[in-house]
Chains A and B, each alone.
Chain A
């Protein structure tokens, strides 16, 4: 600090005492309000560092004396939400699926809860509106592989299809071509027969014979399928793996046997009930 403050003769202002090649710096202090705001910010920061998590360590960070954490705050909020919903959720758990549908209040709650659970857990395969895609069934139409009643839908959600769950829905279509049960031309002949069920090709006697021998046990003589065995209806022109000749040929040659996880271990009972009601209400429910 210079001992003597020099005044600039032109502007009448004090100088700082700094001089570079004869150019002197004027002392123009910050406005008082600015300086005090700045001090207040520093004080705020110090208090904040003491109260809240702030400084990083190598393995973590200071916790702050208030013990605040945003995760804990979220947990509290979630708990409050769960508590607020508990009245309805308990009622849903205690009420049978058939009775929930009859109670307007419960039904609307279940639809909203089911929609939310569907958006989180199901839409990855079945699509946002439940329209499905190749290999993942459409849940909006009335064609059901394992049954479209509300209870059947619940069972499918709870135990899944062809997975490690003890009660999962199980069935196995043979790999007719790969395992040598049928030759290539035979598969082609029966493909024509399957197409003829929905009126899209002319069946040959050979195809009809193979159909009788190999397929009717599960898919029934008219091709209407069997929901007990998860054998799809082949006569309605709704296809899980594509309805063109090539896709059907591949289905018979290699078999498909898609699977769905069991949700029993991941979702609670009330959520699965709400999901079943939601899926049933998408439009295809029986």
Chain B
């Protein structure tokens, strides 16, 4: 080995140990308030999203006397999901899976097109942090006031402001936890119970949990959640490419940066006047002029900041702008490169979105109020009766998702000569076949016996099909099963 190399390694290790501790203390970010287009967009998104989050549990929906009247209710005790006129049973949890898959592909698609727009505008962490920062600004003032306040020794003014701020944060956090719980229980009655101390332990535990997480994540942790905790920024790089529209500093136009005196010439220098406003407004405390960084959440506030400064010094706007890396590279050479939103990556994500959505729509369209499952008893596999007949028994379960009782006729295909027997009170046999009664919004369980004469019993197993249907033919369901006879 090269001795010189070895020596350098040793030095760098020691230096690294001395200069880079494993734990870096957070440098607190004091983002400055800014006005502008993207700030307005962010406020609008915040109002819509938070409005939806807090208001949706209070929507009412009349479903008749025996059902909850909350438009969206995930009733864990009753094992039903109520979404307006749609009722989801636990068996249909795949609809939720489908929605999650749609969400994931939607995120991929948006990222491939517009970078981290989710992070910058719609992520709950961003939305609640924005709200908390607004409260902080109203109570403690803007960036410089807050920094000054934090440096001051404790005083009556500081104590009052800090107490007010944390009280307001906790109030918002508690409302957040409360709203979460309302998605799972009846909102109006539970709200009263919460204040009377009559709500269930689960309700209090979840409100407490979400109050604590909201207060900690939006009040204290903030950009650390995005930088250190969230997995999404770690693999979003796989969705981004040089054609994604992201927040970019136009280096070729901005450099050489430097202070600029009013009236001085702009020749031989860049447009950046190094006012550092883009750094001051950044909620993650980075400098966009350093290029792409993992901390950047793509919120566009530095664009607003820079445009404000450019207007002041009377230079064209958009020194920082939404643009593709490919276009920036072209512009550096004096050319332009158009945006290519249609490319294999976006096509693939769009196709996956469409396929999953189509599958879900299809499944939803084909969804019926009646479902049938059949389980054959395997202990014993079959029974030989006194007269030599062979019998199998089955547990037949019928889901009636409708709000009315159903009269269903049971029939069995594929087993000629079979007679249907049964036990139970809600089942009648007759010449028209076997009639089963299933109560509204419940599962009917029936024990069904199929008996075939010794001569026509299959040797080994034979596929058969159970079906049920009502007289109108609107409700139909069938299920595969087998009939097992003695091996011959």
Q: List residues of A whose CB falls within 8 A of some B CB.
A: 101-104, 107-108, 127-131, 138, 140-143, 233, 236-238, 280-285
Contact = CB atoms under 8 A, between A and B. Distances in A.
A101 B449 CA distance: 17
A284 B391 CA distance: 10
A282 B380 CA distance: 11
A141 B393 contact: no
B433 interface: no
A283 B386 CA distance: 13
A130 B385 CA distance: 14
Nearest to A141: B383
A108 to B, nearest CB: 8
B386 A107 contact: no
Most chain A CB within a 10 A radius of its CB, from B383, B385, B445 = B383
Contacts of A283: 383, 391, 393, 421, 423, 447, 449
Interface in B378-397: 378-380, 383-388, 391, 393
B425 interface: yes
Contacts of B198: none
B383 A104 contact: no
A131 B393 CA distance: 12
B480 interface: no
B92 interface: no
A10 to B, nearest CB: 11
Contacts, number: 57
B416 interface: no
Contact of A140 (B386, B393, B426, B445): B393
A236 B387 contact: yes
B64 interface: no
A232 B378 CA distance: 26
Contacts of B384: 141, 237-238
B387 A281 contact: no
Given A104-B426, A141-B383, A284-B383, 14 more contacts: A101-B425, A102-B425, A107-B424, A108-B424, A127-B380, A129-B379, A140-B393, A141-B384, A142-B386, A143-B386, A237-B388, A281-B423, A282-B393, A283-B449
B145 interface: no
A282 B378 CA distance: 13
B75 interface: no
Interface of B: 377-380, 383-388, 391, 393, 421, 423-426, 445, 447, 449
Nearest to B424: A107
26 contacts: A101-B425, A102-B425, A103-B425, A104-B426, A107-B424, A107-B425, A108-B445, A127-B380, A128-B379, A129-B377, A129-B378, A129-B379, A131-B379, A131-B383, A138-B380, A140-B383, A141-B383, A141-B385, A141-B391, A236-B386, A236-B387, A236-B388, A238-B384, A280-B423, A283-B383, A285-B423
Nearest to A224: B386
Contacts of A284: 383
Nearest to A281: B423
B189 to A, nearest CB: 24
B388 A129 contact: no
Given A129-B378, A131-B380, A283-B449, A104 B424 contact: yes
Contacts of A103: 425
A127 B381 CA distance: 12
A142 B385 contact: yes
B386 A233 contact: yes
B406 to A, nearest CB: 15
A258 B384 CA distance: 22
B383 A281 contact: no
Contacts of B445: 108
Given A129-B377, A138-B380, A281 B447 contact: yes
Nearest to A105: B425
Contacts of A102: 425
A141 B423 CA distance: 14
Contacts of B378: 129
Contacts of A233: 386
Given A103-B425, A236-B386, A283-B393, A140 B447 contact: no
A104 B425 contact: yes
Contact of A238 (B377, B386, B449): B386
